Copies of this chain bind each other. A is one copy, B any other.
Amino acid sequence: MENINKKIQISELRQDLVTGDWVVIATGRAKRPEEFAAHKREAVEEDPNKPCFFCQPEETGQEKDVLIYQDENNQWSLRVFPNKYPAFSQGKVIRHFEEGPYFGMDGVGYHELIVTRNHGKQIAQLDVFRVAEIVDAYQERYIDLMNKKSVNYIEIFHNHGKEAGASIGHPHSQLMAIPVISPYVNLELAGAELYYKSNKKCVYCTIIEWEKEHQKRIIFENDDFLAFCPFASRASFEVWVIPKKHKPYFERISAEEKINLAEALQISINKIFKALGDPAYNFYIHTGPCDGKDYAHFHWHIEILPRTSIWAGFELSTGIEISTIQPEIASEYLRKI
B105:A53 contact, CB within 8 angstroms? no
Within 8 A of B (CB), among A62-97: 84-89, 91
A313:B24 contact, CB within 8 angstroms? no
Give the CA-CA distance A20 to B101 in the complex, in Å: 12
A158:B86 contact, CB within 8 angstroms? no
Question: Which of A32-40, A136-144, A182-190, A257-265 is found at the contact surface with chain B?
Answer: A182-190
Best-surrounded residue of A158, A167, A318 (most CB of chain B within 10 A): A318
B101:A17 contact, CB within 8 angstroms? yes
Q: Given A104-B14, A164-B310 in contact, is the A317-B286 Cβ separation under 8 Å?
A: yes
Q: Which residue of B lies closest to A210 (CB)?
A: B100
Q: Is A2 engaged at the interface, CB distance under 8 Å to the other chain?
A: yes
Chain B residues with CB below 8 A from A28, complex form: 85-87, 89
Q: Is A131 engaged at the interface, CB distance under 8 Å to the other chain?
A: no
A305:B316 contact, CB within 8 angstroms? yes
A15:B232 contact, CB within 8 angstroms? no
Chain B residues with CB below 8 A from A178, complex form: 13, 318, 320
Candidates B108, B176, B318; contact of A184 at CB < 8 Å: B318
B105:A182 contact, CB within 8 angstroms? no
Q: Given A1-B167, A182-B320 in contact, is the A158-B313 Cβ separation under 8 Å?
A: yes
Chain B residues with CB below 8 A from A320, complex form: 178, 180, 182-183
A29:B87 contact, CB within 8 angstroms? yes
A14:B167 contact, CB within 8 angstroms? no
Q: How many residues of A contact B (CB 8 A)?
A: 89
Q: Given A3-B85, A283-B313, A310-B163 in contact, is the A184-B214 Cβ separation under 8 Å?
A: no
Distance in Å: Cβ of A311 to nearest Cβ of chain B: 7
Q: Given A100-B214, A183-B21 in contact, is the A11-B88 Cβ separation under 8 Å?
A: yes
B13:A105 contact, CB within 8 angstroms? yes
Give the CA-CA distance A305 to B322 in the complex, in Å: 19
A318:B155 contact, CB within 8 angstroms? yes
B2:A322 contact, CB within 8 angstroms? no
B316:A284 contact, CB within 8 angstroms? yes
Interface of A toward B, CB cutoff 8 Å: 1-3, 6, 8-15, 17, 19-22, 24-26, 28-29, 53, 84-89, 91, 99-108, 153, 155, 157-159, 162-168, 174, 176, 178-180, 182-185, 187, 203, 206-207, 210, 214, 231-232, 282-286, 303, 305, 309-320, 322
